[in-house]
């Protein structure tokens, strides 16, 4: 049979099995569900290094050592944040009102190649925690490591008592298979992480979807910031897994008052400022002819990028920095760059820095993330009111802060961008986003309580008929 037809049939079989399994799973108690989640977490964390190396070898993106950290983040930190959540049965009981959790059913988990194994762990854990089944659709360029991750999770879940079929994975990934998964009548919700085109397809599928668009987070180093710490955090974030996390910084904005100090600090910490000629050469590789990010640059270190562009940079260069003054769809440096490249902008003052940040975000990355390094709390409040982002991170690495690793945000690997970013939510996605909440309300009023009270014309006791008529006529005449 044709590969596309085989993949479509496989999806139908996986959804059928998942729907049957989820029907049984929906009867499980919170305690039983939690035992399954714990078993998956405990088992998959044993394979963090193995899966990291598989992902790095298969995709060529990032660093396997950092992917170990991401796998541990998904299997340990995410697990710790959800393990005590009440997600099954009655969630809350108030006076005359009950809140009841209702799982949505079968979830389509679309997995990107940038964070394949960690995202698979994360989506499977939060889906099952909310009482759902999941069918995983792997990115074709990360198929093997994603399938391996699912196999580990399935084995642990089934050994802990989960019904067979509750977790599925497409092992013949095709565009047709993903389309079938998203549009199938028994798919209840799509959890989409990936490229902008795929996320748009999820939202236009006719199935409810939670999608994440591109990030293009600017980092503003305000004049009150500790420059050394700010640059360190940006460099830590941008070199973590070679910048493949979408919340990582894409540009830096400074003012004339601290420009020189920031430049010198970047140079001390391994930032290399490209010459105009070098920027032009490298810029040709950032975008493809169709205006999308070139996968050849994704998750690459500075030396690899330099070789790709045919330029020479110092051997200790960790991040390549291009000085820019414009923002547009055709300027690759003002777009999302999931690699070790930063744009560098100088704004006249704080107000202009604010405007530049908004310009960058509206160009790409609306609703996603922005980072500010500052000691000015009033400025933070001002920016929070104005910036079109769902996450405003203060004095922290963007990549770790956005996913809730170095902040108090909910630990998550799917980050909602809100309505401004074309997303159905602005949350860091947790199990609470993957269930419906039924409300049970008791009556507390009767119909009569909504009717206006009848006004009398005064006491009628002891009045004759003639006096009563006169009184009523007098009242009417007053009106």
CA distance linking residue 339 with residue 294, whole number of Å: 11
- Please report, for the domain that includes residue 232, its CATH number: 3.40.309.10
pLDDT value, residue 460: 58
CA distance linking residue 315 with residue 434, whole number of Å: 47
- Please report, for the domain that includes residue 14, its CATH number: 3.40.605.10
Query: Structural domain tally of the chain?
Result: 2
Query: Tokens 């994360």 — which residue?
Result: 122
- Dmax of the chain from CA atoms? 111
Same domain, 33 and 109: yes
Same domain, 108 and 232: no
Contact between residue 283 and residue 322 where contact means Cβ atoms under 8 Å apart: yes
Contact between residue 415 and residue 402 where contact means Cβ atoms under 8 Å apart: yes
Q: What are phi and psi of 249, to 5 degrees?
A: -65, 140
Which two structure tokens, joined as six digits, stand for 460? 């009628």
Alpha-helix runs per DSSP H in 300-423: 302-309, 350-363, 377-386, 398-402
Same domain, 224 and 191: no
Which two structure tokens, joined as six digits, stand for 116? 């394949």
Same domain, 184 and 318: no
Sheet hosting strand 209-212, strand order edge to edge? 167-169, 133-137, 106-110, 189-193, 209-212
CA distance linking residue 172 with residue 315, whole number of Å: 42
Whether 390 is in a domain gets the answer: yes
Whether 228 is in a domain gets the answer: yes
Same domain, 331 and 188: no
Same domain, 286 and 348: yes
- Cα angle: 188, vertex 193, 196; to 5 degrees: 110
CA distance linking residue 25 with residue 104, whole number of Å: 12
Contact between residue 365 and residue 217 where contact means Cβ atoms under 8 Å apart: yes
Beta strands in 255-301 (DSSP E): 271-273
pLDDT value, residue 408: 97
Q: How far is CA 329 from CA 30, 248, 291, 356, 360, in A?
A: 48, 19, 8, 15, 10
Instruction: Burial-class residue 302 by CB neighbours within 10 Å (0-12, 13-18, 19+).
Output: buried
pLDDT value, residue 264: 98
Half-sphere exposure (Cβ direction) of 73: Cα atoms closer than 13 Å = 25
For 250-262, the DSSP string reads -EEEE-HHHHHHH
CA distance linking residue 5 with residue 8, whole number of Å: 5
Q: Is 454 a catalytic residue?
A: no
Contact between residue 128 and residue 167 where contact means Cβ atoms under 8 Å apart: yes
pLDDT along the chain (479 residues), means of 10: 90 98 98 98 98 97 97 98 97 95 98 96 98 97 98 98 98 94 97 83 92 91 97 98 96 97 98 97 93 93 96 97 96 96 97 95 94 95 90 97 97 93 91 97 92 62 74 73
Whether 455 is in a domain gets the answer: no
Distance of CA 3 to the CA centre of its chain: 32
Structural domain of 286: 218-407
Same domain, 330 and 356: yes
Q: How far is CA 221 from CA 177, 218, 231, 252, in A?
A: 45, 10, 9, 7
Alpha-helix runs per DSSP H in 204-275: 227-239, 256-268
Instruction: Burial-class residue 77 by CB neighbours within 10 Å (0-12, 13-18, 19+).
Output: middle
Same domain, 254 and 361: yes
Whether 476 is in a domain gets the answer: no
Whether 463 is in a domain gets the answer: no
pLDDT value, residue 452: 80
The single residue of 145, 246, 350, 417 carrying the catalytic annotation is 246
Same domain, 200 and 229: no
The whole-model pTM stands at: 0.91
pLDDT value, residue 403: 96
Whether 208 is in a domain gets the answer: yes
Same domain, 120 and 222: no
Same domain, 269 and 180: no
Whether 442 is in a domain gets the answer: no
Same domain, 65 and 88: yes
Distance of CA 277 to the CA centre of its chain: 36
DSSP 418: T
Whether 325 is in a domain gets the answer: yes
């Amino acid at each position: 049979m044709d590969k596309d037809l085989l993949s479509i049939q496989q999806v139908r079989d996986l959804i059928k099995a998942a729907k049957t399994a989820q029907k049984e799973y929906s009867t499980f108690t919170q305690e039983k569900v939690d035992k399954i989640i714990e078993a998956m977490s405990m088992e998959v964390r044993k394979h963090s290094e193995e899966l990291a190396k598989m992902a790095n070898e298969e995709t060529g993106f990032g660093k396997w050592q950092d992917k170990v950290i991401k796998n541990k983040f998904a299997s340990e930190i995410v697990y710790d944040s959800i393990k005590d959540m009440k997600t099954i049965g009655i969630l809350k009981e108030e006076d005359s009102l009950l809140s009841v959790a209702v799982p949505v059913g079968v979830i389509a988990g679309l997995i990107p190649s940038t964070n394949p194994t960690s995202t698979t762990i994360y989506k499977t854990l939060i889906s099952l925690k909310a009482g759902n089944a999941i069918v995983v659709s792997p990115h074709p360029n990360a198929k093997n490591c994603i399938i391996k991750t699912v196999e580990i999770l399935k084995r642990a879940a089934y050994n802990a008592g989960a019904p067979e079929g509750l977790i599925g994975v497409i092992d013949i990934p095709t565009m047709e298979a993903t389309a079938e998964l998203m549009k199938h009548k028994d798919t209840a919700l799509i959890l989409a992480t990936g490229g902008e085109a795929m996320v748009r397809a999820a939202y236009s599928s006719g199935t409810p979807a939670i999608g994440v668009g591109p990030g293009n987070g600017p980092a503003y180093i305000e004049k009150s910031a500790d420059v050394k710490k700010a640059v360190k955090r940006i460099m830590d974030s941008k070199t973590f897994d070679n910048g493949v996390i979408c919340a990582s910084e894409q540009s830096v904005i400074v003012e004339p008052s601290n420009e020189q100090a920031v430049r010198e600090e970047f140079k001390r910490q391994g930032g290399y400022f490209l010459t105009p000629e070098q920027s032009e050469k490298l810029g040709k590789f950032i975008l493809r002819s169709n205006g999308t990010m070139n996968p050849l640059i994704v998750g690459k270190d500075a030396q690899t990028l330099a070789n790709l562009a045919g330029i020479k940079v110092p051997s200790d260069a960790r991040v390549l920095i291009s000085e820019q003054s414009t923002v547009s769809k055709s300027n690759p440096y003002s777009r999302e760059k999931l690699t070790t490249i930063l744009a560098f902008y100088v704004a006249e003052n704080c107000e202009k820095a604010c405007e530049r940040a908004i310009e960058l975000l509206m160009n790409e990355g609306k609703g996603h993330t922005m980072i500010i390094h500052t000691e000015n709390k009033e400025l933070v409040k001002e920016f929070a009111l104005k910036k079109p982002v769902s996450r405003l991170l203060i004095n922290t690495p963007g990549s770790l802060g956005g996913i809730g690793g170095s902040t108090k945000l909910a630990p998550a690997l799917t980050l909602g961008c809100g309505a401004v970013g074309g997303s159905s939510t602005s949350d860091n996605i947790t199990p609470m986003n993957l269930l419906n909440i039924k409300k049970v309300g008791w009556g507390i009023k009767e119909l009569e309580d909504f009717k206006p009270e009848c006004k009398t014309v005064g006491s009628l006791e002891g009045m004759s008929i003639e006096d009563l008529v006169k009184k009523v006529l007098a009242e009417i005449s007053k009106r």
